[in-house]
Amino acid sequence: MNDIIINEVGPRDGLQSQPTVLSPQQRGGLIQALFAAGLTNIEIGSFVSPIAVPQMAATDALAQALQVPMGAEVSALIPNMKGYELARQSGVDVVAVVVSVTETMNEKNIRMSLSQVMEVAEDIITRGSREGAQVQAYLAVAFECPFEGLVDPDRVVDLAARLMAAGARELVVADTIGAANPKQVRSLMERLVDNHGAPRLACHFHDTRALGLANVYAALEAGVRRFDAAVGGLGGCPFAPGTKGNVATEDVVMLCEQLGYRTGVDIDRLLTVVEMVAQLLDSELGGRAFGWLKQRAA
């Protein structure tokens, strides 16, 4: 299969860690620009407390105001059942739940045990299946935890099986702190592809140790064709000092297109969006290949 689906997570995972808080109108303008660049899967925000995450305030109004092109899909992160209900009331039919695979990460992040988080996730997946929603299940810190260190792949495989059995549309394996290496990625993703099939799997990589693109390649070799990425390399993890952002969308597009895959993304328009976001945030942004790509486009 030569088609690659890139799920653009900049408007949520990227912006939520930025000190500059964009208005819902600015966020909406960014999302529309990403659609215009050919991205058809976009995580538009999260339904969390605006006190805790002011960058994601008014995601309900944002969702209702968006002009979503035919064939495109928007999703939102939800922390619990209340978030699920708010998302559905706002017209969002694709929701993402996150389970950290280690006890300590769950406790530090949301003050719940792993078993409690799994129960919430399974309940949301079950309800979503019953009500016609589609639930993406994320397994965070799937390779290494900032508190517990390396993660046993068997734990990831077991949790994945439970989430898939509950009815998750898609399982996203997340290297939340950017600690994975290509050997680990290929080994784990081959096991999961064997168990669940590539169409129901995706990967989410950060570039902390400069291995983000190498890990995308390893996942491609394992059969994965769905990837999260953030325009300009936006993002970060507050629990891992020194963590870099997500793999940059422009880098993933470049890699996949040079390998002969189709992404459907207009790279020149995407570079314009990178510059747009950099101006909005008053910050220097861009993936590892941004300078080369701009020079090539000139």
What amino acid positions are annotated as catalytic residues? Answer: 237
| Closest to 13 (Cα-Cα) out of 39, 38, 48, 64 | 48
Taking the C-alpha atoms of residue 11 and residue 1, their distance in angstroms, rounded to an integer, is: 28
271 CB-near residues (< 8 Å, 6+ apart): 250, 290, 293, 294, 297
C-beta atoms surrounding 174 within 10 Å = 24
Distances (CA, A) of 87 to 71, 126, 167: 20, 16, 19
Residue whose pair of structure tokens reads 């997500």 in the numeric block: 246
Tokens of 66: 């968006």
Residues paired with 139 in a beta bridge: 99, 173
What interhelical angle do 249-258 and 290-297 show, nearest 10?
70
Which residue shows structure tokens 């096991």? Answer: 191
Residues 6+ apart with CB under 8 A from 41: 5, 6, 7, 8, 72, 73, 75
Contact predicate 99/151, CB 8 Å = no
Which is it for strands 73-77 and 41-46: parallel, antiparallel or unpaired? parallel
Q: What's at 193, amino acid-wise?
A: V
CA atoms of 46 and 87, how far apart (whole Å): 8
- Which helix (H) or strand (E) element contains residue 205? strand 201-205
